[in-house]
Amino acid sequence: MVQVAVLGYGTVGSGVVKVIETNHDSIMEKTGVDLRVKYVLDLRDFPGDPIQERIVHDYDVIVNDPEIRVVVEVMGGTEPAFTFSKRALEAGKSVCTSNKELVARHGTQLQQLAHENHASYLFEASCGGGIPIIRPLRTSLTADVIDEITGILNGTTNYILTKMIDEGLEFDDVLRDAQQKGYAERNPEADIEGHDACRKIAILSSLAYGKRVDFTDIYTEGITKISSADIKYARAMEKTIKLLAYSSREGDEVMAMVAPYLVDKEDPLYSVSGVFNAIFVHGNMLGDAMFYGQGAGRDATASAVAADVIEAAQVLGTGVVSDWKPEKQLLKDVSNTRKPFFVRVPGDASQRQEMEAIFGPIEVVDAGVDGEYGFITESMTEAEYESRASQAEGILSMIRIREK
């Protein structure tokens, strides 16, 4: 029997208890692992809930209990999650987490600590919720040199964009609605400004390219500027708008960014709608692959955490090696990366020569919006775009175009 402690009885924590208990027999039959939740750490009590008798308020009870071999950290935030994780690993207990903030900030150190103590630090649920992506990167795509990862990694923004597109609504209205339905936080900044996606692409890129990608180095733009007019143009181009977390490698050079992109309908990411997430990976041998599923939600996330718990339990005493090098991966300046840009300007298409004089050959897009028109530039660097855009007057919006 492998005894487990769960830190935090919130959404994910209660889900983990549910998965381990509901699927106990199936897990045992498939993997031979007999999992039991011995403690749940929470500040609160849950009178009437069968969990109550296993609730503890003092972390020392858990960390000092030699029967506990795996600790599930689903508290979120940096502290006390970081201290608790360190103490567990130092005591030779494995830690499984869904805490992307902690993994992005301190994952390198925690993996190192796990390694030194023959334990595992696992974080499948930190990226893409229930989608198996961390373990496939670590164990299935081992024969490949990965040269691109593009993810729709944030369910809240994808839900908002999908609603805006399907119903022609404005950002603020959809956000308010999403908050009422519980799909967006009351303080939605981490999602809508792209910070959440940024942390996740940092984790995935560290794993795929082998060195620590620091999320604070990643150029990040959210979706707050996307308007219903942008959506009209996207429709006219038979494209959609997605918040993409993108990174690529060419030789030793890695670049990463988070920004809204126009995505073509031939792209496998096009039809990833609502709260679903997807991660597109390109390998030098594998070619294109994509992993799709529920990026959030209690049960899906808990399922990923529980799969980590099972793996940690299977290698007790040795630990899973799943780390990247602690040295920092320098990121290529985003301003040197190329792509076409979609631009909206005041006036009408009869004035296209003005824009051509600045941007070079353009393709005009008519979406029937009064007093303005849109156009697509040829592929150019961000720096070139910036320099040209500074010569154009009154640009209403710019959205990057994903090239495949």
Beta-strand pair 253-264/219-220: parallel
Backbone dihedral angles phi then psi of residue 112, each to the nearest 5 degrees: -60, -45
Tell me whether residue 92 or residue 297 sits nearer to a second copy (CB atom): 297
The pattern of x and - marking residues 86 through 125 that bind a second copy according to CB under 8 A reads --------------------------------------x-
Rounding to the nearest 10 degrees, give the CA dihedral for residues 246, 344, 241, 329: 10
- Residue 60: both structure tokens together: 């020392």
User: How many residues lie near a second copy (CB under 8 A)?
Assistant: 52
Of positions 228, 270, 332, 397, contacts a second copy by CB under 8 A: 270
Residue 297 makes contact with a second copy by CB under 8 A: yes
Per the residue annotation, which of 38, 100, 200, 232 is the catalytic one?
200
Burial of 181 (0-12, 13-18, 19+ CB in 10 A): exposed
Closest separation in Å from C-beta 258 to a second copy: 22
Residue 239 annotated in active site: no
Q: What is the CA radius of gyration of the chain?
A: 23
Binding window for a second copy (CB under 8 A); candidates: 20-28, 174-182, 187-195, 230-238: 20-28
Distance CA 94, CA 167 (A): 46
Tell me whether residue 219 or residue 292 sits nearer to a second copy (CB atom): 292
Beta-strand pair 253-264/239-250: antiparallel
Beta-strand pair 276-283/146-152: antiparallel
Tell me whether residue 109 or residue 273 sits nearer to a second copy (CB atom): 273
Residues 140-179 that bind a second copy (CB under 8 A): 140-145
For 140, residues 6+ apart whose C-beta sits below 8 A from its C-beta are: none
Of positions 291, 332, 352, 367, contacts a second copy by CB under 8 A: 291
Phi-psi category of 274—alpha, beta or left, where left has phi over 0 and alpha has psi -120 to 50?
left
Residue 288 makes contact with a second copy by CB under 8 A: yes
- Residue 187: both structure tokens together: 């303080």
Residue 318 makes contact with a second copy by CB under 8 A: no
Helix (H, G, I), strand (E, B) or coil at 64: coil
In DSSP terms, 364 is beta-bridged to 375
Binding window for a second copy (CB under 8 A); candidates: 13-21, 87-95, 192-200, 369-377: 13-21
Residue 290 makes contact with a second copy by CB under 8 A: yes
Tell me whether residue 148 or residue 173 sits nearer to a second copy (CB atom): 148
Contact 27, 35 (CB under 8 A): yes
The catalytic site residues sit at 200
Contacts to a second copy by CB under 8 A: 15, 18-20, 22-23, 26-27, 29-31, 124, 130-132, 135-136, 139-145, 210, 268, 270-271, 276, 283-294, 297, 299-300, 302-304, 306-307, 309-311
